[in-house]
Amino acid sequence: MKRITEEDFKSFEKRKRANFINCLSGFKSINLIGTRDAKGSTNLCIISSAFHLGSDPALIGFIMRPDTVPRHTLDNIRKTGFCTFNHVGHSFYKEAHQTSARYPKEESEFSACQLTEESLDQFHAPFVKESELRLALKLVREVPISENGTYLMIMSVQDVYLNDEILKEDGSLELDQIATMCLSGLDTYHLPKKISRLSYAKADKPVQEID
């Protein structure tokens, strides 16, 4: 095993360092965040920092950096209190990646990146029609992370829209059936292949494949 110390990676050139550190936590979820400003203009950006925060209440967290492209998204969530999450599938991941480009505020990433805006049930923020798993989310609280000037956004799940063939009797979702992708680092897209589902672990017996 090669050892790379903090001193080593601090001396990496900026882009190399970002590539390296972004790979360390493992594979990352990918979601498109849809928002709408007070005037009705829509905004869309890709994020890879979303994580499960809790089931009861149903909470999802993600990190926003105010100094980068998603600042329009951050403004819209702060002003309106709402956003959508849209899983990124294999059939439109290049369009999804393109939303990370720096577009002027007056241009919606939906049209610039050939993705289709959809309104559902009067929810304030727009959904991505191409996505087969979409969430309507409401801002609960933002937590400033003073260490690097980012914000943890705590969102509660309001509605879930899905292709109901992926919903199993026990509540779990077969994400591989809708080709939800994941990311390594900043730009390397992967398609997860299911290996197996394991039984609830107990100290007195070995785990078993249950599916």
Q: What part of residues 159-188 is at the interface with a second copy (CB under 8 A)?
A: 159-164, 167-168, 170-173, 175-176, 180-182, 184-188
Q: Residue 66: what are its φ and ψ, rounded to 5°?
A: -70, -15
Give dist(CA 58, CA 73) in Å, integer: 22
Q: Which is nearer to a second copy, 37 or 112 (CB)?
A: 112
Among 39, 40, 57, 106, contact with a second copy (rule: CB under 8 A): 57
Among 40, 56, 106, 122, contact with a second copy (rule: CB under 8 A): 56
Q: Which is nearer to a second copy, 40 or 171 (CB)?
A: 171
Buried b (16+ CB within 10 A) or exposed e, 108-137: bbbeebebebbeeeebebbbbebbbbbbbb
Q: Which is nearer to a second copy, 71 or 162 (CB)?
A: 162
Residues 128-157 that bind a second copy (CB under 8 A): 132-135, 140-141, 143, 145, 147-148, 150, 152, 154, 156-157
- Least separation in angstroms between residue 211's CB and a second copy is 8
Residues 6+ apart with CB under 8 A from 79: 37, 38
Does 39 sit near a second copy (CB under 8 A)?
Answer: no
Q: Which is nearer to a second copy, 38 or 101 (CB)?
A: 101
Q: Which helix (H) or strand (E) holds 9?
A: helix 6-10
**HEC assignment per residue over 27-87:** CEECEEEEEECCCCCEEEEEECCCEEEEECCEEEEEEECCCCCCHHHHHHHHHHCEEEEEE
Residues 87-126 that bind a second copy (CB under 8 A): 87, 90, 93-94, 97-103, 112, 120-121
Does 207 sit near a second copy (CB under 8 A)?
Answer: yes
Q: Which is nearer to a second copy, 40 or 209 (CB)?
A: 209
Does 196 sit near a second copy (CB under 8 A)?
Answer: yes
Contact 55, 157 (CB under 8 A): no
Other C-beta atoms lying within 10 Å of the C-beta of residue 74: 21
